[in-house]
Amino acid sequence: MRGPINIWRLIRTGATFIRSRAMHTVLEAMDAPPRLRAAAYAISAPFAWLGYKGDPNLPPVTRAITALGPAYIKFGQILSTRADVVGPEMAAQLRVLQDRLPPFSTALAKRTIEEEFERPISEMFAEFSEPVAAASIAQVHQATLLRNGEKVAVKVLRPGIEKAFRRDLDAFHFVAKFIERFSRASRRLRPTDVVKHFERTVMGELDLRMEAARASQFTANTAGDAGFSVPKPIWDMSSRRVMVLDWAEGVPMGDPEAIKAAGHDLVGLSERILQLFLSHALRDGYFHGDMHQGNLKVAPNGDIVAYDFGIMGQIDEYTRRVYAEILIGFIQRDYRRVAEVHFEAGYVPADRDVNEFALALRAVGEPIFGMDASHISMARLLAYLFEVTERFGMPTRTELILLQRSMVVAEGVARSLNPSLNMWQAAKPAVETYIRENLGPKAALQDVQRAAKVITRYSSRFPDMLKASIERHSEPQDAAPADKPLHPAIWAGIVAAVFVGGVAIGLIT
């Protein structure tokens, strides 16, 4: 029965966009071809009366998305940072989704807090405000702790949010399976895996204890970053549905005029946002995965303050090195090396032509250099990148989805402060620092040290394993010795020992 229910939901989605008068705006922003526009209206128009009404006080697109549910809101939040893709009018409408959604009642929020901590609000807070921000999953109240008078932010999950998310995600899974079944070309994009990745990411936001842990980890990682700060969680007042953390004072990042009026440098802030994001992703392998304007402020001292740690990204060291080599290749306009890195990492099938791929990358990168960013159509650039991945049969890398999406969002925020931002020039210092510290002789020595630790850990077992393997091969067997290779662990030990010894000799000499 799930199939018919999900088909009904999709029809109702289109009907909602028509009823809210958002369909025309969306299709215009997408520059959709006439055939697609006709099909969208033909399928949805007869059911327009069944669409959700939404809040008539909101702009059309925002009205439709908020009526449809939290998963749609999350997608709209991403697009809100890309005025260059969806146009300034729609971006302005979608920005409401970041932190200005209709809140639920303060009485209900207080009841949730009291249920979580099993004591009255009056025993915890001297003051407790009405909602100061409301997003897709939770809302925030400003409060004063009774025990020390400290000003804090209290984040409370929306009632019934878990059920609502699962309902939306079920429809997304249905669409992904439908597309994969009937569109062979779409399978390389792995829509089912993409939806699964999105589900894991979003469901992680629904336990605020985990968000407190992510905030704590991020605080530790970025303690030495100049011009950046993170509010710390208060552990004894955080639970599954409630989280309390330090109050973040500052001007919202979504208000460039107020930031400028406060005396802050918009150009410097735009560059710092990108550099901080890349530093966190490359240096730490741990980065803010939802870095839109609604989750950023500019403190009175000029620091960028990040909060809302429901989505954090994590990538391993190998992926960081690959990503850094790709970025530095683009920065240096070495498209051949960028192409080779893609092949070495397995991002492009081995049977494709590396030279052709390098030329395709040149067509992507060259229009960016030497051109004012305000004259670059990011929509066309993204469309061409999609054509390149399709032409070369590149499958979607689900482990890179959040990194790529977050990079797009961070760039969108930076360009909202400085439309003339050159992303590659702004990214250069952070990428070069990572390359210098992680891909040179210093990194090679660190790799040797790590390999030596692994060998040391298992070295006591090598003699017994070698003895057992020799004894097995010395005994009469029906099979020929050539059919019985040494134990894989022994080969691993021999190879590792030779590698470490060779590198060590090379460094010494």
Q: Which residues are catalytic?
A: 290
- Helix, coil or strand: residue 152: strand
- 305 pairs with which residues across the strands? 229, 297
> Token digits for 208?
């605020």
Scanning the structure block, which residue is given the tokens 């019985």? 484
Query: Measured between alpha carbons, how far is 92 from 76 in angstroms, rounded to an integer?
Result: 11
**130: part of which helix (H) or strand (E)?**
strand 125-134
507, with CB counted inside 10 A (0-12, 13-18, 19+), is exposed
210, 201 Cβ separation under 8 angstroms: no
Query: Measured between alpha carbons, how far is 319 from 397 in angstroms, rounded to an integer?
Result: 11
Furthest-apart CA pair in the chain: how many Å? 87
The region that residue 82 occupies, defined by phi over 0 for left and psi between -120 and 50 for alpha, beta otherwise, is beta
- 153 pairs with which residues across the strands? 142, 245
Torsion of CA 339, 345, 350, 353, to 10 degrees: 0
How many C-beta atoms surround the C-beta of residue 336 within 10 A?
A: 15
List Cβ<8 Å contacts ≥24 apart for 345-354.
Answer: 347/394, 347/397, 348/392, 348/393, 348/394, 349/392, 349/393, 349/394, 352/392, 352/393
Angle at 386 between CA 86 and CA 316, to 5 degrees: 100
| Chain center to CA of 26 | 24
**185: part of which helix (H) or strand (E)?**
none
HSE, side-chain direction, 13 A CA sphere, residue 423: 22
350, 343 Cβ separation under 8 angstroms: yes
| Chain center to CA of 455 | 36
Closest CA to 26 of 69, 74, 67, 62: 62
- Helix, coil or strand: residue 57: coil
Closest CA to 297 of 308, 310, 287, 281: 308
Query: Measured between alpha carbons, how far is 30 from 40 in angstroms, rounded to an integer?
Result: 13
- Helix, coil or strand: residue 255: coil
276, 283 Cβ separation under 8 angstroms: no
282, 157 Cβ separation under 8 angstroms: no
